[in-house]
Amino acid sequence: MTFAWPRAAAVARKEWFHIRRDPFTMTLALVMPLVMVVIYGVAIDFNVKNVRLSVSDSDQTQASRRLIDTFSSSGYFRVRRDFSPNQTVEDVVAERARAALIIPPQFEKDIWSGRTTRAQILLDGADNSTVVPVSQYVGAIQTLASERIAGADMTPPYDLRTRFLFNPELNSRWFIIPGVIVVIMAILSIFLTSMTVAREWENGSMELLLSTPVEPLEIIVGKAAPYAFLGALAVVFVYIIARAAFGVPFRGHIWVFGLGCLIFLLTYLAQGLFISIATKQQTLAMQFSMLTGMMPSVILSGFVFPIASMPKFFWYFTMLLPARWFMIISRHCFLEGSSFFELSVPFAALSLSCLGMTALAARRFKRTLE
Amino acid sequence: MTDETVVEARELVVRYGDFTAVNKVSFSVRRGEIFGFLGANGAGKTTTIRVLCGVLPPTEGWVRVAGTGYEDGENAIKAKVGYMSQKFTLYNDLTVGENLDFTASLRKLDPGYYAKRRQELLDIISFGKGLDAFVQDLSGGTKQQVSLAAAMLHDPEIVFLDEPTAGVTPAGRVRFWKLIHRVAESGKTVFVTTHYMDEAEQCGRIALMREGRLVAMDSPAGLKASAFPEQVFEFEPLQELSFSRMGEFQNHEAFSFFEPYGHRFHAAAANPEAWRRWKPELEKTFCIRPIAPSLEDVFIRMVEDRP
**pLDDT for residue B251:** 75
**pLDDT for residue B256:** 82
3-state secondary structure of A99: strand
Are both B185 and B295 inside the same structural domain?
no
Burial of B230 (0-12, 13-18, 19+ CB in 10 A): middle
- Asked whether residue B245 is domain-assigned, the answer is yes
The per-residue DSSP string of B151-217 comes to HTTT--SEEEEESTTTT--HHHHHHHHHHHHHHHHTT-EEEEE-S-HHHHTTSSEEEEEETTEEEEE
The residue out of B184, B218, B252 marking a domain boundary is: B218
| Count of pairs with CB atoms under 8 A, one residue in A, one in B | 62
Are both B212 and B255 inside the same structural domain?
no
Q: How far is B296 from chain A (nearest CA, A)?
A: 29
Closest residue by Cα to residue B129 from B143, B111, B112: B143
Are both B265 and B167 inside the same structural domain?
no
Residue-wise pLDDT for A214-242, tens only, equals 887 888 888 888 988 888 888 888 889 88
Counting the structural domains of chain B, the total is 2
The whole-angstrom separation of Cα A82 and Cα B231 is: 111
List chain A domain ranges.
5-44+171-369, 51-154
Are both B85 and B213 inside the same structural domain?
yes
Are both B246 and B161 inside the same structural domain?
no
Are both B180 and B248 inside the same structural domain?
no
Is B83 close to A213, i.e. CB distance below 8 A?
no
Mean pLDDT across chain A? 84
**Residue B64, H or E segment:** strand B60-65
The whole-angstrom separation of Cα A31 and Cα A292 is: 22
| Structural domain boundaries, residue B283 | 227-302
**pLDDT for residue B227:** 85
Q: Evaluate if pTM is beyond 0.80.
A: no
Residue B55 with chain A: CB contacts under 8 Å:
207, 210-211
The residue out of B186, B201, B218 marking a domain boundary is: B218
The residue out of B186, B218, B250 marking a domain boundary is: B218
**CATH number, domain at B277?**
3.30.70
Chain B CB within 8 Å of residue A23 CB:
no
- Asked whether residue B160 is domain-assigned, the answer is yes
Nearest CA in chain A to B50: A211
| Model ipTM value | 0.80
- Asked whether residue B20 is domain-assigned, the answer is no
Q: Is B228 left (phi over 0), alpha (psi -120 to 50) or beta?
A: beta
The whole-angstrom separation of Cα B33 and Cα B1 is: 6
Q: Which of A208, A221, A223, A370 to mutate to test binding with chain B, by most B CBs within 10 Å of its CB?
A: A208
Residue-wise pLDDT for A271-313, tens only, equals 988 898 888 888 898 899 888 888 888 888 888 788 887 888 9
> What residues contact residue A146 under an 8 Å CB cut-off, 6+ apart?
A154
Q: Kindly state the average pLDDT of the residues A12-39.
A: 86
Are both B115 and B179 inside the same structural domain?
yes
Residue A210 with chain B: CB contacts under 8 Å:
55
DSSP letter, residue A340: T
Is A7 close to B108, i.e. CB distance below 8 A?
yes
Are both B100 and B212 inside the same structural domain?
yes
The CATH architecture assigned to A51-154 reads 3-Layer(aba) Sandwich (3.40)
3-state secondary structure of B27: strand
pLDDT along chain B (307 residues), means of 10: 83 92 93 91 89 92 92 91 83 93 93 93 86 90 88 91 84 87 90 89 92 91 88 84 73 80 82 81 85 87 68
- Asked whether residue B18 is domain-assigned, the answer is no
Is the model's pLDDT at A150 over the cut of 90?
no
Is the Cα torsion angle A210, A212, A215, A219 positive or negative in sign? negative
Is A211 close to B54, i.e. CB distance below 8 A?
yes
Helix, strand, coil percentages for chain A (3-state, nearest 5)? 70, 5, 25
Nearest CA in chain B to A366: B56
Q: How far is B92 from chain A (nearest CA, A)?
A: 10
Q: How far is A210 from chain B (nearest CA, A)?
A: 6
